[in-house]
A and B are shown apart, each in its own frame.
Chain A
Amino acid sequence: MLHSKKFPAATVMIFLVMIISGQLTRADETAGLEYFETHIRPLFAEHCYKCHSADAKKLKANLYLDSRAGWQSGGDSGPAIVPGKTEKSLLIHAVSHTDDDLKMPPETRLPDSAIEKFSTWIAMGAPDPREGEVKERLPKIDLEKGREFWSFKPPVAHPVPKVKDPSWPTSEMDRFILARLESENLTPSGDASKHTLLRRVFYDLIGLPPSPEEMKSFLDDTSRSAFESVVDDLLARPEFGERWGRHWLDVTRFAESSGGGRSLVFPDAWRFRDYVIDSFNQDKPYNQLVREHLAGDLLSHSSVEQRNTQLIGSGYLVLGALNYELQDHELLKMEFVDEQIDTLGRTFLGMTLGCARCHDHKFDPIPTADYYALAGIFQSTESMGKGSAASGVTSFATTKLEVTNSGEIEQARESLAKLSTQISTFKSQLGKELSQGSLNPADLPGIVIDSAEAKLIGDWKKSSQTSPWVGEGYLHDENLLKGKKQVEFSTTLPETKSYEVLVAYGAGSNRATNVPVIIRHADGETTISIDQSKPALIHGCFISVGTFPFSKDQPASVTISTQGTTNHVIADAVSFVAPGSFKMPPGDRQKIAAKLKNLEKEHKSLTANLKKLQPVTMAVSEADIIDDGHIHIRGQVRNKGPKVPRGFITVAMKPETSANIPAKHSGRLELAHWIADPENPLTARVMANRIWKYLLGEGIVRTPDNFGQTGELPSHPELLDYLALRFIEDGWSIKSLIREITLSRTYQLSSQTTHHRDPENRLFGRAPRKRLEAELIRDTALFVSGQFNPARGGPTIRKAGQYDLNYTFDSTRRSVYLPWFRNSMLDLFEVFDAPNPNLVVGKRTVTNLPTQALFLMNSSFIREQANLTAQRLLSEKATITGAYQLILSRPPSQSEEASTQSFLDQFKPDQEEEAWTQVCQTLFACIDFRFLD
């Protein structure tokens, strides 16, 4: 910002008059151009052209200063000069070197005289004779061309292909698969055996194996609808939501702590987990799920329950991995916004939007402006809470859930308030005050005079570092100008009698030990020295300086002096109380202390109870300030370019449509509706592809979180469109789509192949050989051993501390209910490729590492489950077939039976439990357990 005193006042006056009075005269114009030629052109040429002209070796910031048009249209940061407005001209801002992020020329500041010349010239209206057009900048993203990419074109209903073998397909989707196989001269593999199929569909739909009884009843059911009834049964079980909810938790990068340097625990994140599980169990339409995730706080509702559910759903936006420790709050806020944009892009749209934060997307037609159009939406959203100023750690946003028991809460609150008053009375009687922060003078006994009402001599600094204090903070002398500063508290007391005088200060080790306190009373003046390094016990901040006679006709005053002190002096408040109020016989102290202890106990349990009555959830809300965001040039938070209107991803919008976000809306609601719209080309495709992937091992697009240029192309684009449209037609029902896919012949094929023509199974000519994921290994082991705790939902973090370090996992509940932290994970999960909760994971890593083998062979967990399973088998008559059926859901082959028998035969008769333990452990480790055919 340039001050007018920096350039000659007379010049300014002249030009101001000219500008205000209208156009410059011809003579002025000539004078202006002369001024340009004499002073400005040389400055540009010498200091700016090197980087900002057509001759520049490398043009910086897309800014040309060698023509009028150059500074008019400006570079990355917008127009460089606003004629007549020096204070609005970026050029002046840059050359004055007042902003660390924008200093030009970067190396050395121009002399003041040169800056004044620029200012004068701009004030003149920046006359500039230099013609010439701005050269073409970097090629702009061509949205029309971008819309040609397959995933941005709306899905269309393709005719179901004709096939040579019409007897094979049992569904329309089978026809898409078979037609493609036939075109490659391939035939699908045979159908899976009933054993294989039942195990497959159990794990795929509910994540647990069929029991031997369930297997038997399926084998016995020879009706044509046998499989269909199994599918319908499984889709209706509560375990379905636990299994598919976990998939969704991968995609929503769910975790119960923040990760980062200090990984904050999210004590209420479990509500989101339970909400996801419930949503899948209720078969909530997917478009509704999307809307709740992005704008659950803004959706209309017809009941308290619905409002709460929707609110919990919006926790999606708050659950991200973030380093809440970042001290730079502007940056932290932008990092939060970036996490939200990047995550929602991958989750719902299969787009990597994060790339457009710093520059136009290199591969996809997403300009930076689109990114900041979305950023404006999330900058206008409140996602962060207050946190602690002391530790510098911020927090995440929470909202109170609505409750139907407001009467009960009110009652609890009242009793809590009563209890607090009692406690504080007892505490002050005992000379210890629990208070933190500010003590309200009105709540304190006696006549209190706060520092705010005191008369100050010299400069005193206001502070509130040391808690507690009275009223509005306290004063300290900054340990400067000793003897020149004092604080006088004075008042007129209501009665002529003796009062005990209390003086308040926040004690600390750097405080003066010899602070003179001068009391002016009815009998004259007394000076007492106090030691402010010692704690003040009355209410946590007062000490008594003695009892003195006062008269109601004379002012009573207490002065804190700094005379002769060698360390910091504090002046907070003074209080006049009835003498002896804070002394009591020692016997009473004990009694009161005991009472106090009881009251505190009661207070604690009542507080916990109230917390339960008044639950909160992680949720976003509209920010106080709703505004469009600036483009951040090259992603730098402080390098602000022009503002862009809040909006969505242009390339995925219908041409000639706009976001239409009302001025008072952040735009989240509109964004949610846009993503959930059947016309959005990506939303249904991305989700249908995910569902296909979970059932058939690979997606039709094998990069489920990336439908952009860097992702893979669909192997069966028409089938994907078919699935997406079916999904929308069926009211975005996830269960219906799962049902349709599982009932297809394609799903029910054997994983065996007779040829090697399609090694990656891109054509889905056979069933995939999937891996049991980490959770499935653990849940199955617990399930067959009988240790499985089937409890559902609720908070599961034992003793949630502030951070997630060194947590001990000791639960036997289903894996989805285990605490899911970013900085510490159950070792089994780590070893068996559980997803990294910092990222959207639509496709988990699959590895074959020796550490997995070591876990299966040597860990106490597997050994213990094997032992319990053995005991279970031995409780009846243990048979080899029984063990295989229990663990592998199939009888042993002849050779397996023989091997197992001869292994068992090595053990002595009294080693039966050990023998069976080892058999069970071996079955947990074998490849037919770990792979799902």
Chain B
Amino acid sequence: MSHHRRQFLKSAGCGFGSLALSSLLGQAAQNNQLSPKLPVLPGRAKRIIFLFMAGGPSHVDSFDYKPELIKSDGQTFDFVGVRKDTFGKKSQRKLLKPLWDFKQHGQSGRWVSSLFPHIAKHVDDLCFIHSMHTEGVAHGPSTLFLHTGATNLVRPSMGSWVTYGLGSENENLPGFVTIMPSASKGGPRNYSNAFLPAIHQGTCVGRAGLPASQATIRNLKNPHLPLNSQKEQFDFLQQLNRQQAQSKGDQNLNAAIDSFDLAFRMQMNAPDILDLSGESETTKTMYGIGEKVTEDYGRQCLMARRLAERGVRFIQVNYSDESVNPRWDQHSNMPKHEDHARATDQPVAALLQDLKQRGLLEDTLVWWGGEFGRTPFSQGKDGRDHNPRGFTTWLAGGGTKPGYAHGATDEVGDTAVTGRLHMHDLHATMLHLLGLDHERLTYNYAGRDFRLTDIAGNVEKAIIA
């Protein structure tokens, strides 16, 4: 977003909402300053698919290979606590070696454990960040931080910032879609526009806990009328609306009218996009659709590809549920990680392959990760606690360095030590890849310019190809 644009928007006063709206609707193509296709920096990515692994998958059991951890299994060391009552205090903890074997894969020789045999085949396309660290220790705050850059205060979600900055490539679809989000751990706040214009709110497709085969946008279909009748009724409605708004010159009324247009276009287009029946059996099989364990996440990933193809800017694919302990949250019974790996591994690998073979990986940034990682030491008999101090996230496509691994945690995987990348830095870097300057993507609210990265964040050039 250019300085000019911001100035322009500010001076537009109360008309701001409808300007942003029209940019989203693609009508702004007539105005270069608002063109959704002209980011301020030369962007490598045009969209993001975020594969959200709720609960915090264990990096030391999946992508962060630590021979020292295997060697020192069962030994006791002092670790500094991060939990509320133990904050900053050392206590004796027993190391727990990974439960799965690691092997090197691909030409790049990246290490992946046997948890993710399918993703392992794509390591040469992946860009691992082993040195992530973040804020918050509990799921609620860390999940909100991951999505909004704030643990507690109400802030716009990253998807909202992205559509605010870039608009949508498809005037018939919302710019920010979240597939099967959870109502817990911040719930709607994780896809909320907060103070950004409401049009940037994430649109939900289904919700966590229901089968993906039923996932759709609420009230998207009209069960009462055939399509041609709906069109006639819709035209009549907009005719009345325009007559009623005509003399009033109120931007708010125009925004309401525009929201009907978008709704109707969504109704015409989105059901087809979310309907997977037209996909070939080969494709469905590749995603694991039809297999019990991969059915749901496979469908979600395939929907994501279809939405990406049609130009949705930010697509979040949630692997989450409504429970107190989100899916990857194995405080005990680490072997349960395998259930979650089985449910997601093949669908994610299929998505990577599918995007690649369609040439979409070039300009689609795929982001895999949870709100934090897990501790290298055990909790109870066979669990691991939350670890916001060091964990792994991986990116693919969209201008990231393929087959690359950035940064490292210490020798057992507890704390990020080299190439440390804070969640704010990751946000800044991803915005950069989209051609957005995180320091200039601001919105003035209650007398202050707000950013996704607050007053922090550095673009990590090392992971950019």
Contacts and interface: CB of A to CB of B under 8 A. Distances in A.
Contacts of A751: 248
A853 B224 contact: no
A860 B89 contact: no
A854 interface: yes
A925 interface: yes
B89 A100 contact: yes
B266 A850 contact: yes
Given A106-B88, A903-B232, A853 B240 contact: no
A827 B218 contact: yes
B234 to A, nearest CB: 7
A848 interface: yes
A899 B237 CA distance: 10
Interface stretch (B26-34, B158-166, B255-263, B435-443): B255-263
A544 to B, nearest CB: 42
Given A848-B252, A927-B253, A930-B256, A857 B222 contact: yes
B14 A854 contact: no
A211 to B, nearest CB: 22
B174 interface: yes
A379 B38 CA distance: 58
B86 A926 contact: no
Contacts of B255: 848
Interface residues of A, number: 50
Contacts of B250: 769
A101 interface: yes
A903 B241 CA distance: 14
A860 B241 CA distance: 22
A922 B85 contact: no
A636 B88 CA distance: 14
Contact of A849 (B201, B222, B223, B236): B201
A107 B324 CA distance: 33
B199 A848 contact: yes
A847 interface: yes
B264 interface: yes
B103 interface: no
B219 A752 contact: no
B217 interface: yes
Contact of A926 (B240, B258, B259): B240
Contacts of B239: 899
A906 interface: yes
A261 interface: yes
Interface string A138-179: 000000000000000000000000000000000000000000
A921 interface: yes
Contact of A899 (B225, B233, B236, B259): B236
A759 B198 contact: no
B357 interface: no
Contacts of A927: 241, 244-245, 253, 256-257
B203 interface: yes
Interface string A911-933: 00000001001110111101100
A487 B165 CA distance: 77
Which residue, B221, B239, B241, B266, has most C-beta atoms of chain A within 10 A?
Answer: B239
B278 interface: no
A107 B91 CA distance: 10
Contact of B220 (A636, A752, A847, A854): A854
A759 B217 contact: no
A848 B198 contact: yes
Given A850-B263, A927-B257, A930-B256, A921 B201 contact: no
Nearest to B232: A906
B86 A100 contact: yes
Contact of A918 (B17, B86, B233, B249): B233
A859 interface: yes
Given A261-B324, A899-B236, A849 B86 contact: no
B85 A101 contact: yes
B293 interface: no
Contacts of B230: 857
Contact of A893 (B219, B241, B243): B243
A848 B259 contact: yes
A921 B233 contact: yes
Which residue, B90, B241, B243, B255, has most C-beta atoms of chain A within 10 A?
Answer: B243
Nearest to A756: B249
B183 interface: yes
Interface string B64-96: 000000000000000000001110111000000
A535 to B, nearest CB: 30
A858 B183 contact: no
A193 interface: no
Contacts of B232: 903, 906
A921 B232 CA distance: 13
B267 interface: yes
A860 B223 contact: yes
Nearest to B324: A261
Contact of B233 (A261, A827, A895, A922): A922
A674 interface: no
A855 interface: yes
Interface in A849-873: 849-855, 857-860, 863
A643 to B, nearest CB: 23
Nearest to A862: B219
A760 interface: yes
A486 interface: no
A55 to B, nearest CB: 22
A922 B237 contact: yes
Contacts of B224: 858, 860, 863
B266 A854 contact: yes
A103 interface: yes
A730 interface: no
B359 interface: no
Which residue, A752, A823, A851, A927, has most C-beta atoms of chain B within 10 A?
Answer: A927
B199 A849 contact: yes
Contacts of B236: 899-900, 903, 918, 922
Contacts of B259: 848-850, 852-853
Contacts of B266: 850, 854
Nearest to B174: A850
Contacts of A588: none
Interface string A698-732: 00000000000010000000000000000000000
A678 B123 CA distance: 71
B233 A851 contact: no
Contact of B263 (A847, A853, A899): A853
Given A850-B262, A852-B259, A927-B244, A859 B198 contact: no
A214 interface: no
Which residue, A261, A847, A906, A926, has most C-beta atoms of chain B within 10 A?
Answer: A926
Interface string B407-446: 0000000000000000000000000000000000000001
A926 B244 contact: yes
B326 to A, nearest CB: 12
Given A853-B262, A923-B240, A927-B256, 14 more contacts: A100-B89, A751-B248, A760-B14, A850-B266, A851-B218, A853-B259, A857-B233, A858-B219, A860-B224, A899-B243, A900-B240, A918-B225, A927-B253, A931-B252
8 contacts: A759-B14, A847-B198, A852-B263, A855-B219, A899-B243, A926-B244, A931-B252, A931-B253
Interface of A: 100-101, 103, 106-107, 261, 325, 636, 638, 710, 751-753, 759-760, 769, 823, 827, 831, 847-855, 857-860, 863, 893, 895-896, 899-900, 903, 906, 918, 921-923, 925-928, 930-931
